[in-house]
Structure 1
Amino acid sequence: MGTEKNQANTTPIPEPPATPAIPAPSTSAGGGVASTPPSGRGKKRAILIGILVGVLAVLVIAGVVAIKVANSSRTPEAEVRKYLDLLASGQASAATAMVDPGVPNDQRRFLTDEAMASSTSLLVVEEVVADGNEDSQTRQVSATVQVNGESFTHAFTVTKDKPTMGVLNNWTVKNSLAAQVSVDAQGYTQFTVGGVSADAPRKLVSGKPATYFFYPGVYTFTPVAPSEYVDVNTKTVAVLDGVHGGTAYYADAADVSLEATYSDKLKEAALESAKEFLNSCASIPGNQNSDCPSALSSDAVSAISVKTMPTTLEPMDVDPGVFQGQVTFAVTYSDKSYMPGTRDVDAAVVVNVQFANDGTLKLTPEGTPDFWVGTSR
């Protein structure tokens, strides 16, 4: 029996069944995340993306700051100051292009660089201040400036325009600083300022003075003499904000008045005309001229001579276009007279300058002054 038990104990114990191998997770598109570490190329890509995001953030911030800085100089006051700086430097054409004065072309001929270059005192900017309505589309800007030491303040209206690229502010100055100046000329038909010429009709003839516009400054108005017999009398005017005056005074003058005076050549021509007339009166039948002294026209006159011819003629104080001088005739009367014999006849010779319809000195076809000559006792 013992042997049988021993044999039973030696029977081999069966091994446990083998555990089947578990397959690795699939790396296909529908499978789970691979557990393998990222490659070096992936790390570089992540770093590059981070850098680009940072650069874009910096650029956005820099752009916002740049827009704010740009708009800080694109303000209503800055636009007005830009306009005033153009006038202060004599850039009339650029100023007109920036702010149109809204006047006819024939009245803006002195709004030029050439005319402003002749000014002896241009605009000086003292202060530019905008109102406090920062959110308004229309702003009021007050500018204090001076010309030739005379200060004045001008109120500008400035309106907001469509922004550039939707972010940069734009403003437009609406009212020009050009001032109206009316010119009345007597004895002239034209004048110049800084080499620029214009017509100057006489107010009494045309019914109104000529009107032109000027930018602030001190200008000299130079009439154009129509002949050698007329003097050139200039007038210097300070043009401010719509007001102007003479050289020494800057108030109350509504017009620039250019009044002609006459040269010594006219006085000489008047004397020659008087001599010719008096010699005619001293002749027979020239003595019958009704403008000669009546004492010379008698039928009893047998001889006449000019005993004392005037050597000069002087203009009358009340009318510089009238010249006068004294003359003495020696007149011989025949027996027909109640008092025959030779006696002196004193008279005043009068020479009147003749004027054309436009108020200028009238000339003969030969280019000499046209006079009326007569006598008075």
Structure 2
Amino acid sequence: MSDSNIDNEGTVPEAAVPEVTVPEVTVPAPPAPVFPSAPVTPVTPAEPAIAGLAVAGPAAPAAPAVAAPTLTPEVKGHLLRGLSTAGIAVGGAFVAGLILAIAVVLTAGSSLGDLGLPISVDAFSGIGGFVLIAFTLAGFVFGGEISLQVSTGIGGFGANAGGALWAFPLTLTVAVLVLLLWWSIRQERTAPLRGIRNRLLFSGGVGLATSLVLVILTLIFTIRQGGSGVEIAISSAGFRIVLFGTILVGGTVFLGRVISARARAGVNWLRAIGDSITVLPRFVREALFYTAGLTFVFGVITVIFGTILLWDQIGAGALPVVIFGLLNLIGIPIIIGHLGGFTLHSGLGSFGGVETMTVFSTSGWSWLLVVVALLFSVVAAVWIGTRRPRKVGLNLVDAWKFPVVIFGAWVLHGLFTFGLTVQGGGSFGSVGGSGTAGLALAVWTPVVFLIWAAAIEFGAQYLPAILYGLSPQVHAFVAGRATVGTWVAAPAAAAVAGVAGVPGSHDLILGGAPQAEGAPQAGGEAAMQAVPPIAPPKPLSPAAKKGLLWSGIGVGAVIVLGIVGAVGVSVLNSTRTADAVALTYLGHIASGNASAANALVDPDVSNAARAHLTDEVLKSATERISDVSVRSIGIDGSDQAYLEVSFKLDGVTQDGTLTAEKGEPEWLVLNTWKISTPLVQNVRIDVDGPGVLAIGDVPLDIDESSSYRSTEVALYPAIYEVTSDGDGLFELESSQLQVGAGLVASTYFVFAPTEKLVEEVQQQVNTLLDTCAESTAARSDGCPLRTYVYPSDTPVAWTIISYPTIELTSDGLRFSAEGGEATAAYTETSFGSSEDVTDEVSISFYGEVEISGGDVKVTYSY
């Protein structure tokens, strides 16, 4: 018995079932099994009634009593078929998970090792490792959330961290659902269920069973690794699998069985789907066509350009990534091309930011997506409108339906299947924190698509007639020659086409002619007489065509000029980003152009402190920054950007942070950015020893008011050569000053005496001794030559035998003289007698050095 003899509640018309006699009993019937038995045929003996499978006909006596309820072969068969369907769903999810596992191991394996976690990538290189990852990602296919948990104990304190990733791998999910749809259509043909209610129970049971099995498998195959007191667990088990798995699997199974039940005998499953689409309301079929066309057009663009853009990052892996992630990636160009937006959000604790990406904030070439969206929308409006009954005037009664369906589809897509979310957090003892990041649909984007759909609806009511009047040949090329012919023939002819004997001849998707709304479904001549024909649209006159042509050219020119202008503005704005300003700023510093750097970014120091922020000083540096790069690390709203800059100095890469603020646009459309945190560093310099310091021949203003000689100077990042005053008496022990991206610690410069100063002091000491030797006093003031005589005024004749060797202190302001020798000759008188005496005297003393204007003077201390 075919489904045509079974109503939607699973009952068989009375005429289809012969009257049967069942022995009368007084006991109630046994409980109804979960699944119904096979359809009742006229030759089948009477069976006990099963709940949900009531047979219409004369009232039958109660069934005979039985000892215990048992499952009939039919019910057992449905149970087995339900299990096989769940097995197909689980198996498809596992294969999809295996595909994802291969991609993860090949592209992200090395990244796991770089995280420093005790995860052995080699553990996943065998069959067992792939099985672990595949079952984890199988749950991911049906909406599961990949979670990572890390726990450890350090010094008696517990520490844990965790993270989660949620995203729908839509391409693989749809592939599994298509497989499940085919299997359900096939099962309904071989073992049909009776009634909508039984199909719902069967489908819901299969969906729930599939979800529960997947949850159990993901729990069993949870990835666990550990080492050195650290335990790691990765799993996708959670309520999301039960929720989304039950809905997706159950809904697909139900849809497949309904399609099969309505299908004509002998048609394949694809044609069965097409026939089912033809019975849908017209606005639903139009929305399906629009969605399919949009997916195809932008899918081709995504595959081509997505592969090109990703090739530089991941090489040959770009193509499979784009193919398997096509339905996820395709949303981005569709949104950009339709002037919508999506958000990139990130946050750490209570701090975070959101950046909205639109065609206005991307590269200028993105405006070509707008051109594609415009052209596709025009073609879609003509294609849809030509398949509707030709009417005169604007139809407002049904005009809201198509836009509302498109709006609802984007709302659901944005809420449940678009984008991704990454969460993470951790705690150590009582201290913890969390962060989140992700990609989501901007809340106003569905409204944008509602407006586009409304425009397409309006175009569908007017554009076919305009295009036909302009050029029937172009109209036939866009909408199809046969369809245009049916549309021109008016509703009466269209009605005949809809009842000519082939259901689905008005199928919107498969390209048949439309059936007129309100037209009779049978009757031939009566149908043609019921709806009077409408006069075919008249071609436009040459003057009207010319006017329309010039108007189109004008509108097209305005659109082209607008798009070209928008592309130009976007191209210019792509060079006027905060990153670009930062790169220009760093480029000026790298080239030694301090004046340009000062003009671009205010150094934020006093005018008196800018003496060393000049081209001469920066160009005098022995090494300037090189290999500069800028990376945006976050945007606070849309008016402030945080930039991470890096450059090399002395062979080492250094990092710094800049803050940029958005300024008033130039010419209303050109972006301006201003760096508010300069790279100028204030360096403190302490000086030990006399002398004047200079950088780039510009002296440093050293503070002499305290016992410590110091100064502070503002400089750009570079390596500078510090010079002294050049009198040759002192030299710097180290003359190199390195200024980097971070704060520079206090730098200490020490002046050391030169050999010239040593020789000068030695000469001064020798002169002092020679002067002292000319004296006849045994102890002259300010002289190191001393001996004992009696009486004390006895004249002494001094003779220098050898001069002492001097040694200067580190600052050159003191000296010691040792190793000298002299003789003191005098006549000693005692008790009326006299004697000539010569004493040998060693020369050893200390003194000070005074330097003034290059002149050196030594003085005896003791």
Once the two structures are TM-superposed, the CA of residue 136 in structure 1 deviates from its matched residue by: 2.1
Describe the shift of the 1:331–1:108 C-alpha distance in structure 2 as closer, same or farther (beyond 3 A): same
Q: Equivalent residue of 2:763, what SS?
A: helix
Tell me which residue corresponds to 2:289.
none
Once the two structures are TM-superposed, the CA of residue 212 in structure 1 deviates from its matched residue by: 0.5
| Counterpart selection for 2:737 from 224, 232, 237 | 237
Q: Equivalent residue of 2:795, what SS?
A: strand
Once the two structures are TM-superposed, the CA of residue 311 in structure 1 deviates from its matched residue by: 6.4
**Deviation string, structure 1 residues 124-176 (Cα, Å, up to 9, x no partner):** 24532213437421111111222112222211111111111211111111001
Tell me which residue corresponds to 2:47.
none
Describe the shift of the 1:318–1:264 C-alpha distance in structure 2 as closer, same or farther (beyond 3 A): closer
**CA–CA separation in structure 2 for the residues paired with 1:277 and 1:347:** 15
The 5-angstrom pairing of residues 268-279 of structure 1 reads: 268-279=759-770
Describe the shift of the 1:159–1:223 C-alpha distance in structure 2 as closer, same or farther (beyond 3 A): same
Q: Is the 8 A contact 1:140 1:157 kept in 2?
A: yes
Q: Does 1:157 align with 2:659?
A: yes
Q: Is the 8 A contact 1:107 1:213 kept in 2?
A: yes
Describe the shift of the 1:106–1:351 C-alpha distance in structure 2 as closer, same or farther (beyond 3 A): farther
Tell me which residue corresponds to 2:487.
none
Q: Equivalent residue of 2:598, what SS?
A: helix
**Deviation string, structure 1 residues 305-354 (Cα, Å, up to 9, x no partner):** 21413064333579763131313122213305999431224232435333
Percent of aligned pairs with the same residue? Answer: 24
Once the two structures are TM-superposed, the CA of residue 95 in structure 1 deviates from its matched residue by: 0.7
| Counterpart selection for 1:195 from 664, 673, 697 | 697
The 5-angstrom pairing of residues 208-357 of structure 1 reads: 209-225=710-726, 227-231=727-731, 235-244=735-744, 253-257=745-749, 259-284=750-775, 287-292=778-783, 293-295=785-787, 299=792, 301-310=794-803, 312-315=805-808, 321-325=814-818, 326-336=820-830, 340-350=835-845, 352-355=847-850
Once the two structures are TM-superposed, the CA of residue 50 in structure 1 deviates from its matched residue by: 5.8
Once the two structures are TM-superposed, the CA of residue 260 in structure 1 deviates from its matched residue by: 2.4
Once the two structures are TM-superposed, the CA of residue 284 in structure 1 deviates from its matched residue by: 4.4
Tell me which residue corresponds to 1:60.
562
Q: Equivalent residue of 1:58, what SS?
A: helix
Tell me which residue corresponds to 2:571.
69
**CA–CA separation in structure 1 for the residues paired with 2:607 and 2:811:** 40
Q: Does 1:148 align with 2:640?
A: no
**Deviation string, structure 1 residues 101-135 (Cα, Å, up to 9, x no partner):** 21122322221221121222211245322134374
Q: Equivalent residue of 1:133, what SS?
A: strand
**Deviation string, structure 1 residues 14-58 (Cα, Å, up to 9, x no partner):** xxxxxxxxxxxxxxxxxxxxxxxx999x99888766644443332
Q: Does 1:123 align with 2:610?
A: no
Q: Is the 8 A contact 2:848 2:861 kept in 1?
A: no
Aligned partner letter, 2:753: Y
Q: Is the 8 A contact 1:152 1:240 kept in 2?
A: yes
Aligned partner letter, 1:373: Y
Q: Is the 8 A contact 2:694 2:700 kept in 1?
A: yes
**Deviation string, structure 1 residues 76-120 (Cα, Å, up to 9, x no partner):** 212211211211222111111111121122322221221121222
Describe the shift of the 1:102–1:202 C-alpha distance in structure 2 as closer, same or farther (beyond 3 A): same
5+ unaligned residues in a row in structure 2: which ranges? 1-540
Q: Which has the higher contact order (CA 8 A, sep 6+)?
A: 1
Q: Is the 8 A contact 1:87 1:95 kept in 2?
A: yes
The 5-angstrom pairing of residues 73-92 of structure 1 reads: 73-92=575-594
Tell me which residue corresponds to 1:106.
608
Q: Is the 8 A contact 2:688 2:709 kept in 1?
A: no
| Worse-matched range after superposition: 285-294 or 89-98 | 285-294
The 5-angstrom pairing of residues 162-181 of structure 1 reads: 162-181=664-683
Describe the shift of the 1:297–1:74 C-alpha distance in structure 2 as closer, same or farther (beyond 3 A): farther
**CA–CA separation in structure 2 for the residues paired with 1:154 and 1:203:** 35
| Worse-matched range after superposition: 162-171 or 72-81 | 72-81
Describe the shift of the 1:209–1:283 C-alpha distance in structure 2 as closer, same or farther (beyond 3 A): closer
Tell me which residue corresponds to 2:859.
372
| Counterpart selection for 1:137 from 639, 662, 665 | 639
Describe the shift of the 1:330–1:96 C-alpha distance in structure 2 as closer, same or farther (beyond 3 A): same
Aligned partner letter, 1:332: Y
Describe the shift of the 1:287–1:106 C-alpha distance in structure 2 as closer, same or farther (beyond 3 A): farther
Q: Is the 8 A contact 2:569 2:669 kept in 1?
A: yes
| Worse-matched range after superposition: 171-180 or 192-201 | 192-201
**CA–CA separation in structure 1 for the residues paired with 2:840 and 2:793:** 14
Q: Is the 8 A contact 1:130 1:140 kept in 2?
A: yes
**CA–CA separation in structure 1 for the residues paired with 2:830 and 2:761:** 36
**CA–CA separation in structure 2 for the residues paired with 1:214 and 1:78:** 23
The 5-angstrom pairing of residues 9-28 of structure 1 reads: none
Aligned length: 318
**CA–CA separation in structure 2 for the residues paired with 1:273 and 1:189:** 21
Aligned partner letter, 2:752: T
Describe the shift of the 1:262–1:273 C-alpha distance in structure 2 as closer, same or farther (beyond 3 A): same
5+ unaligned residues in a row in structure 1: which ranges? 1-37, 245-252, 356-360
Q: Equivalent residue of 1:301, what SS?
A: coil
Comparing both structures, which one devotes a greater share of its residues to strand? 1
Tell me which residue corresponds to 2:14.
none
* TM-score between both structures, scaled by the size of structure 2: 0.34
Aligned partner letter, 1:344: D
**CA–CA separation in structure 1 for the residues paired with 2:595 and 2:810:** 46
**CA–CA separation in structure 1 for the residues paired with 2:765 and 2:628:** 62
Describe the shift of the 1:170–1:339 C-alpha distance in structure 2 as closer, same or farther (beyond 3 A): farther
Aligned partner letter, 2:857: D
Once the two structures are TM-superposed, the CA of residue 233 in structure 1 deviates from its matched residue by: 5.1
**CA–CA separation in structure 2 for the residues paired with 1:267 and 1:339:** 44
